[in-house]
Structures are given as structure tokens and as C-alpha cells.
Chains A and B, each alone.
Chain A
């Protein structure tokens, strides 16, 4: 089972031995790999993996962001969006291999620092373009369309208000409130 857990405030300081420190291009947040988990000390969440290597998961989170980059969407939602691959991998060795090999291939193409070591989004996207036709990429991108955008928690970030029946629809809540025309 993959669990995404919110960490308590007193745990926020990463008193963990950092096996690896990951720098992400752009916002500069840190993802830390510790034991079987990917941890975001800044944002107080962590993700334990069951089948995939935590390093693989961390890279997968970066790949997800590079496929559907929304700078205003925190990593946590990308982590939730890809955790299904870990769950599937735990049940299906072929899927595990697909993801592990796909990520290893990206790391290899990226050179000594690996995929996450590439500082610019453009550099990483160039690698993704190379593998765009592969079943690995198709599986990751295809799943994300639903697993990222169907999270109710991200909807407000995009200004989508979701369910409206319980609030009586929009008849008294701005269905025709446009003013700039």
C-alpha cells in the first residue's frame, strides 16, 4: 500500500539521514528519500512506496510534473496522481518492470546526474519527447489525465467549483455575473 501522509508540525524538520537530496527545477522545493519513502519536509507530506523504489517514485513525480506542468500545483498532488503505479506494481510484476525500466532509461539518457539532475524543464522535456511513443510514457501520461485532474482538491486551484447541486445550483450564485463584456 502506498500511503500519503501529512506529517505533524513537530516532525517537519527533516532529522533524517538524507540518502539523497533532490533539487527540483523551478520552485526549488526539496524531495527527500528516506528508507521506503519520499518526503517533502517543506510541505509536510510523505509517500511510502510498496513496490517501486522510492527513488523511482521521486523521479516519477518529477516526470508527472514535466508532462503536465502547473507551477501553482504543489508536488503533493502529483505524488497522489502517480501513486497508483506503485499500487499496480505491487500486484503486477510486468507493470513494476515497465515503470522501473522506463525511469532507469530516462536516468541513463540524462547522464551522470540522472533525470532529476537536469536543471531545466526543457532538458527533461527533451528526454520525454524521445520516449513519447513508448508504452512506459503512454501509461504514465494516460493515467495522469484522470489521476491528476480528477482530484477534487486541485479544482479550486484552477477556479473550477465542482459539485453545485447541494448549493442550489448557480441560479443565485453568479451564472450570469460576467461584467466585462
Chain B
């Protein structure tokens, strides 16, 4: 039975956000018998409620509250009020996510040592290594049912994958397969196997794809130690005179302000909302926001160097059929500065339905050059580029000077300028992607600009030294012992890999640490 805790109960751990980080942490703590309240800004939609329709699903699940943008990135021009594609719903972005689950490479945990100083970048080594993370990665893969691990077969390749694989073979790429996907290739964990529906980005109606919504959360609730409170938007974290956090003020479903008392607070609202909340929790004791003695809260915003390549062939492909992202080439993920940039990138299959293709293929584009591309929609194949981008202090989340949301909380501004390394990497990836499809006979290819960010990282980063970042190697803030960060905003650097497996692994590890600290009575 799901628990229900009193607002005045100051023994609970309060987690803000129920996505990859928050949902996992909540279940892990509950399994250890620790009482948890998850405050989730969005509503609860179970997987039967998901819709196989791009715009309707976006309307149902996505975070649509206004944000502003600045900087030279193209998203600011194309989607000035939609910098990121993030979910506001129980389960967070693990409802919309595609399931690609990759471990970081060893050198990526040591970006500064591996790449050296890069001008205009705020590189740093993570305070954890791959060796320390390995056992947690293994736990996360087992929990999420990642294909290609634990003897679970990889997914069968769909049409879009077959085109990718044919091109990879032509270019001599060695590591190309249907990926490590947190999608059941066989029935397990009381959930279906993938039915190749092709609406992974709209929420999996079969429950085949891992989401905290129907794995971690109900499992945690079954312990009687977890309460998930939907439609509860955290606005401010309170603290006492000693500087310890004591509770979270949130707007409930009726917009009324409540305060949930807490022994520990863990912030997991994804990399735009987490720093927004910390900055908005300023007080006379912490005039620059909570946990911000380093001044790094909100800074070093990363979004991965992304872009897509679509290609048209003289024969049909039907790329939208089947698992959206089950297909990867890993050969370019290595660090090889001879290519003209540091770090590497992955190439993964990607498909959009006709409505999103029209919106994202070339935002703002019109006329025959644009429409003749869509005329051949069923002859298209596509891949997505995801590579390491450079952390920069100027790339940051700030509170808007005068615009506020319905609860009176300043909205977030997202500033991003591409680093020269990002641009060089993207151009390299475009040319490889275009060459790949040309090698299979594409008659036309499209280097498609980045979409609103789905991977949002780095805005409360981990650091060895308190002066360099916001949290320590356990996601505990350097400044406040009972305040944690549990989402992708902890990332010191981004790596080339899709981030969620690492977010989940860090959350499992953090749960162990919190439990140990609680029993030692040190928090």
C-alpha cells in the first residue's frame, strides 16, 4: 500500500521529481525501509492512458510552462520558449524517453585529464571513476532490463536499423548493433516485450520500455514507505538557522501553498528546474541561493552536441515502424583529437512521425525544397547524433528578471552558446552521417539542426573541491549536509552517451550513501 505522510512529519526524505533520478532514489530508499515523499509537479497518467499521437502525447506529458532562451544556439531562434523537451508527469522524462542505456567510457569520467585544458570550456574530472561506478551500472542494467546485458537478447532490427547497418558496413564501422536498450526484448519483470509499435517517444503503451512510472514507483509504493504526491510543484526549500534544510514549500493541486517537513531533501527536477529551485530558495543566510557558495548553481549547462541526419531513398523504408532508437554505431564515440575535436559521439537510429518531422526537419523552412522532402516521408531513414559538449560557465540557467509563473516563481532562462568544439564535432558527424546514407544509395540527405534539448545536464555539478562545483561524489551538496541533488544536473561532464543509465546508477549509489549516513545519525 502506498504510504501517506503527514505534512509535519519531519522524519521523511522529500524528493522533488519522480523521473529517472527521483523515481529510482525513492524506490531504493523505500526498499531499505526509509520513508519517502516524492513531490511531482505533473499529474499521474498510467501507461494505458498514453496516446500514439505525437502532438496529443506532447500535450499530455510534456513540460509546457514558459521558459525563455538566449545565446547563439539555433534552438533559441527556432523554439524561443521551448528550450527543452522534458516531461512534467509522474515518471518524468522516462515516460517519453527512447530507452538507449549506455555506460560512460573510462576517459569520460576524467575529461580534464583526458582532453587537457580546452579554451573557453570549464572542464573538470568527475570525483568518481568508472571502476567505482561499475557495480552500480550493473545494478541499473539489471533493474531496467537493458538488452545486451545479463543474457537478455538485443532487440530485432527494424527497417531504419537495417539501412543504418548497411551504411555502417559500407563505411567500415565495426561496432553497429541494435543497442543497449532499457526495453524488454523478452517478457520480464511482469512486463510485456516490445511489440515494435514505434511510439517510444510518446510513452510505451505496452509497458515494455522501462519507466519509473510503472517500475520503481509502484515497487516503492508496495513497501508502504513511499508516497508520490502528484500535482505538487516545489517552489522553495526552507532551512533553519544552522543552515540545515527543514522542508519544502510546494503548490498543491489547487494552487495552495503547503510545506512538507523533511529530514533530508533530494532535488531531482531535471537540469533546468533543479537549479531554478535552488536559486529561488535564496534567503538572508544564502543570498545567492541554496548550496551556491561556489557560484556554480545553474552554470555549466550541457545538452549534448546533437543533430540528425535524414536521407531519402528511391525505395521505401518506413522508418517509423518499430523501436525508435534501437540502432547504434559506436565507432565515433572514441576520443581522437585528430578529427579536430575532443571527445566523441554516438550515432543512433531515430525516427519522427510526419507531424514532428514537419516541425523539426528544418524549423522555419518552407517552399518546395522543404515539402519535397516530406513528400518522400515513407522513403526516409534517419539517425541522431549525440556527442559530448563542453561545459561553459556562460551556458546557464538563471531566474528571469521579471517574468513569473502562475505560482509567482520566476521562470527559467536557458542560455547556451555552442563551443567551437561542439560545432566541429557536429559538422564531422553530419558529414559521416551523410556519407553513410550516400553509401547505401540515398538520393538526398538532410543535416537537421538540434531539437529542443532532451538531455539536460550539468547545472549542479559534482566536484572534488567545493569551490569547483555544487555536490560531492555522492550528490550531497558541499554546503548543506542534508540536501542532495539526484538527477542529471550532477554531471561534471556529459560524455558521449545518453545519460539516463548513469543517472539511475548514481541514484542507486546515492541511496546506499543516504541510508548509511542516516543510520550513522550523521544526517
Contact = CB atoms under 8 A, between A and B. Distances in A.
Contact of B377 (A160, A164, A178, A180): A160
B377 A181 contact: no
A175 B322 contact: yes
3 smallest beta-carbon distances between A and B, as pairs:
A159-B378, A169-B195, A175-B322
B367 A67 contact: yes
A64 B429 CA distance: 35
Nearest to A181: B166
Interface in A56-102: 67-70, 72
Contacts of A155: 354
Contact of B322 (A69, A160, A168, A176): A176
A159 B377 CA distance: 7
B371 A146 contact: no
Interface of B is mostly: loop
A74 to B, nearest CB: 15
A145 B358 contact: yes
A164 B199 contact: yes
Interface in A139-165: 141, 145-146, 148-150, 155, 158-165
Contacts of A162: 52-53, 353
Interface of A: 67-70, 72, 125, 141, 145-146, 148-150, 155, 158-165, 168-171, 173-178, 180-181
B127 interface: no
Given A158-B354, A181-B162, A181-B440, A70 B375 contact: yes
Contacts of A173: 321
B62 interface: no
14 contacts: A67-B367, A69-B371, A149-B374, A150-B355, A158-B377, A159-B379, A162-B53, A164-B197, A165-B197, A165-B206, A169-B198, A176-B156, A177-B159, A178-B163
A175 B349 CA distance: 14
Given A149-B357, A164-B321, A178-B316, 12 more contacts: A68-B366, A70-B375, A125-B367, A149-B354, A149-B374, A158-B354, A159-B318, A160-B320, A170-B198, A175-B158, A175-B159, A176-B159
Interface string B156-178: 11110011001000000000000
A69 B367 contact: yes
Contacts of B53: 162-163
Contacts of A174: 159, 318, 321
Nearest to B381: A178
Interface string B467-490: 000000000000000000000000
